[in-house]
Amino acid sequence: MVSLSDAAKALWAKSDRNKDGGEWHPLIAHLLDVAACAEVILEREPKKTLELYAQDLGLPLEQAKAWVCALAGLHDIGKASPAFQQKWPEGKKRVCDAGLTWTVDPTPPPNDVSHSVISEEVLPELLEERGWVLGAAQNVAAAVGEHHGFRATRQDLDDVTSREKGKGVWDEVRQELFEAVLEVLEVGNAPNVSIYKGAAFERLAGLASFADWIGSSLDFHPLGDDLAQYYQNAKARAAQKLDDIGWFQREALMKEPQTLEAVFAYLGKPDQPFKPRPLQAVLERLLEGINTPALFLVEAPMGEGKTEAAFYAHLRLQSANGHRGMYISLPTQATGNLMFERAKEFLGRYGKSRRLDLQLLHGASELVEEYQKIRVRPNTPEGGEEGVEAQVWFSHRKRGLLSEYAVGTVDQALLGILPTRHQFVRLWGLGNRVVVLDEVHAYDTYTSGLIESLVRWLWALDSSVVLMSATLPKAKREALLKAFGAGEIPKVEDKPKPYPRITRVVKGDPKPMVETFAARKQPTLALKALPLDLEALAGKALEQAQSGGCVACIVNTVQRAQDLYQALVGKADGVEVHLFHARYPLEERLERERTVLAKFGKPGQRPQKAVLVATQVVEQSLDLDFDVMFTDLAPVDLVLQRAGRLHRHERDPKERHAHTKPVLWVAGLEAEGVPNFGSAERIYERYILLRSWLALRSRTHIDLPGDIDRLVQEVYSEPEPQGLSEEWKTALEQARTRMEQRNARDQDEAAYAPFGEPCETDWLDPQTFPKLPDDEPNPDDDPSLLHTRKGSPSATVVLLHKVGGQLCLDASGKEPVSLARKLELAEAKRVFARSVKLSRHELTSNDFAALKAHRKSQGLAAKVWSETPLLAHAHPVVLEEGRAVLGELELELHPELGVVYRSAL
């Protein structure tokens, strides 16, 4: 029977000071609670997870599990110190009475030395005495010591003096606790590893922190005399707690291999059974025989079944490799919402046999109806529809990636590799998992660099990766493949059909395999040029709409969309005109999105004559279909992405009216000399716009999908065309120089932004690890503020109306709102629904000075809604008669145009 001295039993870890007598939890009990939670978590993980820990330690499975759980439990051994035990007067008196005293008082709160830092300082010596190599002992101590979310710096560790940690009897009692934990868990001999780096470090840190979160939520339980018996009881309580939060056994959804045709039979119709598309058939073939983590890069145009292919790849890879689940990453909240619905339908087919947790991870998920339908509150027995549910515990921003299945933005995944608090928990959640990164062409140089780093970490953590894109420039494609261990990339340019293609890289095999296939033949697009002038664009768009059908006008800026809409409305005789962009309050934007899908989507009640004016919000994932399209000139890959909404679905020719052949009009393609692209150059690189203009200028047609890869490589990868004038050569050289300078800067920032790379060891040294800020990044904020993306920062602004001296959510004054208290969730959601993200530099410059000055001028509290998580970072803007003046900027909320900017000077 394992027992402890009275002095060791007197040490406290947690107290409930609100109860009579001050209930408390012994330190040894908490250490064993957390070790027990770690063990139950591992028992519910796929066997592969434990095998990875065993590889890290070079030990058999059960011995590795014992050591890993013991290390997780020892995360708080630093609480056996004067620095911690001084914090509660009743507890301090008890330990002093037990003989654990000190002659010099430790630094008092709030400047006291953290017990987590003390754990990191004292644990290596204890482990070394037990047989660990010192370097590895220091590494694991750092991993479990950062359970409060941050790594200790060298200065932090130097602050752990004898005054803080105690000596003599304190050394003895820590030794006693250490030995007791190891004895209860029966760890056996120490592992013979010399360093614990990269993936091993993150695996241990993530598990220790997760287990601590669960262990700290367990009710206080009598310790008793037998520590081994207490540990068994703790495991039972841990199992119940995991049940309560929805952490169930992680099992493969596909028990026996099934064909893709069988898996997606539910998508067929009685008279039209589901048949795999060529892309899906090729992927199914490439998945045969895979029994190690792998990366699949799928490059194909829209409408080829990439999403179903990714879902199927997850089933096969999960079954073959023991992966724990899937995370699907997308570039925007809107694309995430659409993918969530498809993932829910897919998982619902498997949720009938067991409960599956599916989370939607982005700042506006509270407003997504399909997500809210399956939310399960704590301690409620009912599950979500079709067995798919979303447990509230996982909706906390740090816990979302622990869920078995999740859909969200790429920012959520990238926070796992950036030096943010508890990044290792997020990274642990992505480990041994299938991670799908969709629309990977949609990111700039900086974010693309971070994604490459993320892929390297996923390789190290034995995850499988599915990358999906319309197509990629050669350099970006090769960088992503090499991030997963690929060696020399096979050339595909010389093949008869080099595109579309799937490239496979298997971990441990540097030779990628590339397969091409025949994509669905799409109608050849007639390409016509227009000047950039808005009047010319409006006139031609109305002319096309008057002959019947649905016309899309996709422009590069909101201002240009608002101006074009006004130009059209004034002349639209019998033509419906709709406007859709991102500068509407959230609930209105979602409503407009629903309207756009209803009118121009696949089933759609298509208008007889209509024009949709939109920005880039329709480029990705919205399944829209137009008879004619006008687009501003943009990078050629985005022009092609937009063109994918032209004659997208097979329809009766009568529905197309006079537009039986698809025509793509490009505004800005008709120009004399070297063109100027106006405001588009604030969004896109001038060099890429110039190269895109050159690639399209002499074309009269675009063949889809045949020209997609050809045009993208011509713009991004091939040398500049010959025979250009001196004017053109100079313009290209100047634009290229500016682009290369920006790209070099962004690549450097992307290289240094992550906390480290899996094969590096420098970041293990506390000397090199930066001290994190006190305030934690919030994924509800703008991605540029999270350092996951570059570009202008944006502010989340809640537009309020002043009606009769009362602040309201609506202009009619029927919904008054409070700014002086914490809001209940339902009320907070209503307020958040009136928010809009604005990136105008007058609002965001100088740390949002104009917004803060406006708030102060309105007599509002300095930290409005600071206690309401959904609104903690939102700025209120008070509108009077629909307008507000913020410094040099006037802002108007127009009922049709959305937020309009004007100069206030």
Domains along the chain?
Answer: 61-244 (1.10.3210.30), 280-324+431-518+725-759 (3.40.50), 525-704 (3.40.50.300), 792-903 (no CATH)
Task: Report residue 341 as tokens.
Answer: 């619905």
CA proximity to 523, closest of 408, 391, 686, 646: 646
pLDDT value of position 852: 93
DSSP letters spanning 813-876: S-SB--SSSPPPHHHHHHHHTTEEEE--HHHHHHHHHHHHHHHHHTT--TTTTTT-GGGTT-EE
pLDDT value of position 168: 93
Compute the Cα dihedral for 365, 369, 372, 374 and give only its sign.
negative
Amino acid, single-letter form, for residue 810? D
The Cα–Cα gap between 531 and 632 comes to 9
Question: In sequence order, what are the beta bridge partners of 72?
Answer: none
- How would you write 569-608 as a 3-class SS string? HCCCCCCEEEEECCCCCHHHHHHHHHHHHHHHECCCCCCC
pLDDT value of position 781: 46
Q: Are 492 and 501 in contact (CB under 8 A)?
A: yes
The Cα–Cα gap between 248 and 253 comes to 13
Using omega within 30 degrees of 0 as the cis cutoff, is the peptide bond preceding 895 cis? Answer: no
pLDDT value of position 869: 76
The Cα–Cα gap between 169 and 161 comes to 15
The Cα–Cα gap between 644 and 620 comes to 10
Consecutive 10-residue averages of pLDDT for the chain (905 residues) = 85 76 88 98 97 97 98 96 93 92 90 92 96 94 91 86 92 96 96 90 96 92 90 96 92 91 89 92 96 96 90 96 95 84 89 82 79 68 57 81 93 92 94 96 92 97 96 92 89 67 95 91 92 94 94 96 95 92 92 91 86 90 88 95 88 85 96 93 95 96 91 94 95 96 94 86 59 48 67 88 92 88 85 92 91 92 82 90 93 96 86
pLDDT value of position 385: 40
pLDDT value of position 17: 64
Task: Report residue 542 as tokens.
Answer: 């109305």
pLDDT value of position 460: 96
Instruction: State the Cα torsion 175-181-185-188 to the nearest 10°.
Output: -10
The Cα–Cα gap between 661 and 525 comes to 7
Task: Report residue 578 as tokens.
Answer: 């709709």
Residue 766 is given by DSSP the state: T
